Amino acid sequence: MVAIHFTQNIQRHIACPERAVSGDTVREVLANYFADNETARAYVLDDQGALRHHMMIFVDGAPVADRGTLSDAVGPDSNLHVIQALSGG
């Protein structure tokens, strides 16, 4: 099972508790996680299912290469971190 984690700044806006879910790609893991949390899906993914510009996903510490179809592979013991880009001065 893949452990999926959302940063605290995301959780201020939407409930995304840490969970372990199945999947062989980032897309499958997210689909399984969001199956009962459509609000979180809309916060992380755009209407085409791609990663929103202000979001980033890391698999085992490496940024995803495919932000459009999220086809990056994940292993059975992977950690997936979803973060929101912050800016300011």
Name the CA radius of gyration of the chain, rounded: 12
For the beta carbon of residue 62, count every other beta carbon within 10 angstroms: 9
Confidence of residue 87 (pLDDT cuts 50, 70, 90): low
Structural domains of the chain in order of their starting residue, each with its CATH number: 2-84 (3.10.20.30)
Helices of type H across the chain = 8-11, 26-34, 38-44
pLDDT band at 89 (very low <50, low <70, confident <90, very high): low
Q: What is the pLDDT of residues 14-52, one digit of tens each?
A: 999 999 999 999 999 999 999 989 999 999 999 999 999
Predicted TM-score (pTM) of the model is 0.91
Mean pLDDT across the chain: 94
Distance CA 31, CA 62 (A): 20
